[in-house]
Amino acid sequence: MLFTEKYRPKKFDDIKGQKVIVERIRAMVEHKNLNNLLFAGPAGVGKTSLILVASRELYGDNWQENTLELNASDERGIDIIRNKVKDFARTKSFNDTPKLCILDEADSLTREAQQALRRTMETYSNTCRFCLLANYSSKIIDPIQSRCTVFRFKPLEREDIKAIISNVSKNEKLKIDEKALNALIEVGEGDIRKIENIIQSCAVINSSITEDLIYDLVSRAKPKDIIEVLNIAINGDFVRARERLLEVMLRQGLSGLDVIKQIHKEIWNLDIEDKEKIKLIDKCGEIEFRIVEGSDEFLQLETLLANFVKK
């Protein structure tokens, strides 16, 4: 079983982070008065877990019969709203509590489908509640947003992530040292689903998880390697910086975009004036645009290094 499913929270108290949101949803469930909801925020921060916990608490053993969960990225056309969602919403639940329709990745719904959903939400408000989960709330049309209570999720705090990793490592009998823990937090970027997938992949290889194993698995350069490349360039040795960057890219199998994103992060850790950092950040944006548009990756990265040399 995937760690992401095995360690999915089953109760409100199991959910880490998002304390204010959890308490508000818990209060709605206790009063059996769940509103139409819009959960907006980055991936892997507990949006789906929270609404599934709420469904279990609300309906008890019959939660699956009273809950329809759809992933809108797979089924995002107007037909799915007119048929599947409408058929579910129009029938009453086994008790007086309205049923729950969960639309995951709702920001992938077409505008036509959202317009149809808006009408469905209005017509069947007595028999069904809707919960829309989205990474970008701006992609949800205003009429739907106005019909929902909006909750904005944020990336998990460092301490919450540590607690989750500690729980997984304890139950799975894994050894994760401090450097590996910091590496997991760094590459996970607040996305606990991503972190759990990395841990599971590492655990297949070795029960003792190290920093090197993590970076090899996710195909990312260590921050210290990127810092080394940038410092060599800042000190004026363009040829050596170019060779070192090429070595890092080939060893980790990195693409130009991967490198640009890591360079962008590490610029703020360089020992140079803030004005110079701003210029280099601006150049990173320009180089990334060129690569996305189809320019040669190595040529553009050499151009970026040249800007560090002549900063």
Same domain, 44 and 177: no
CA distances from 245 to 84, 147, 190 (A): 52, 51, 27
In 3D space, the residue among 112, 104, 118, 129 whose CA is nearest the CA of residue 47 turns out to be: 104
- Name the domain boundary from 184, 218, 252: 218
Determine the Cα–Cα distance for residues 19 and 51; give it in Å rounded to an integer.
14
Does pLDDT of 2 surpass 80?
no
Indicate whether 133 and 232 sit together in one domain.
no
Radius of gyration of the chain (CA): 24
Instruction: Calculate the alpha carbon distances from 147 to 134, 152, 191 in Å.
Output: 15, 16, 28
pLDDT tens across 196-230, in order?
Answer: 888 988 888 888 888 888 888 887 888 888 989 99
CB 89 within 8 A of CB 125: no
Which of 177, 271, 185, 187 lies closest to 221 in space, CA to CA? Answer: 187
Same domain for 145 and 117, yes or no, is yes
Q: Are residues 63 and 174 in the same domain?
A: no
What's the CATH number where 79 sits? Answer: 3.40.50.300
Same domain for 229 and 281? yes
Residue 5: CB atoms within 10 Å? 8
CA 73 to chain centre: 15
> Residue written as tokens 């989960």?
133
The number of folded domains in the chain is 3
Are 57 and 134 contained in the same domain? yes
Residue ranges making up the domain that contains 240: 223-309
Q: Same domain, yes or no, for 174 and 213?
A: yes
Contacts from 112-118 at CB under 8 Å and sequence distance 24+? 112/77, 112/78, 113/76, 113/77, 113/78, 113/80, 113/81, 114/140, 114/141, 114/144, 115/141, 115/143, 116/78, 116/81, 116/82, 117/81, 117/85, 117/144, 118/143, 118/144, 118/147
Question: Pick from 152, 170, 185: which residue ends a domain?
Answer: 152
Taking the C-alpha atoms of residue 50 and residue 156, their distance in angstroms, rounded to an integer, is 14
- Residue 38's DSSP bridge partners are 132, 150
User: Taking a C-beta distance cutoff of 8 angstroms, is the pair 114, 144 a contact?
Assistant: yes
Share of the chain above pLDDT 90, in %: 16
pLDDT digits (tens, 9 = 90+) for 19-57: 899 999 999 998 888 889 999 988 888 898 999 999 998
Q: Is the pLDDT of residue 124 over 70?
A: yes
My answer on whether 273 and 204 are in the same domain is no
Indicate if the pLDDT at residue 76 is higher than 70: no
Predicted confidence (pLDDT) per residue in 156-209, tens digit: 888 888 888 888 888 888 899 888 888 898 888 888 888 888 898 888 888 888
Segment 276-283 mean pLDDT = 90
- Which residue, of 114, 129, 152, is where some domain finishes? 152
The confidence score (pLDDT) of residue 289 equals 93
Task: Please indicate, yes or no, whether residues 178 and 255 belong to a single structural domain of this protein.
Answer: no
What's residue 23's pLDDT? 92
Assess whether 50 and 141 both reside in one domain: yes
Question: What is the structure's pLDDT at 72?
Answer: 61
What type of residue is 67?
T
Q: Does 9 share its domain with 62?
A: yes
Confidence of residue 311 (pLDDT cuts 50, 70, 90): low
CB distance 140 to 117 below 8 Å: no
Nearest-angstrom CA–CA distance, 74 and 24: 30
pLDDT value at residue 93: 76
User: Is the distance from CB of 43 to CB of 54 less than 8 angstroms?
Assistant: no
Cα–Cα separations (whole angstroms), residue 3 to 67, 193, 198, 201, 211? 23, 9, 10, 10, 20
Do 14 and 48 lie in one domain? The reply is: yes
What CA–CA distance (Å, rounded) separates 189 from 221?
15
CATH code, domain with 178: 1.10.8.60
For 155, the token pair is 């990336």
For residue 238 the two structure tokens come to 């363009």
What average pLDDT score do residues 236-257 get?
A: 86
Task: Tell me what pLDDT residue 51 has.
Answer: 92
- pLDDT on residue 152: 92
Ranges of H-type helices in the chain: 3-6, 19-30, 47-59, 78-80, 86-90, 111-123, 142-146, 158-172, 178-188, 192-205, 211-218, 223-234, 238-252, 256-266, 274-292, 297-309
Residue 257's CATH number: 1.20.272.10
Query: With pLDDT > 70 as the criterion, what percentage of the chain qualifies?
Result: 97
pLDDT (mean) for 284-295: 90
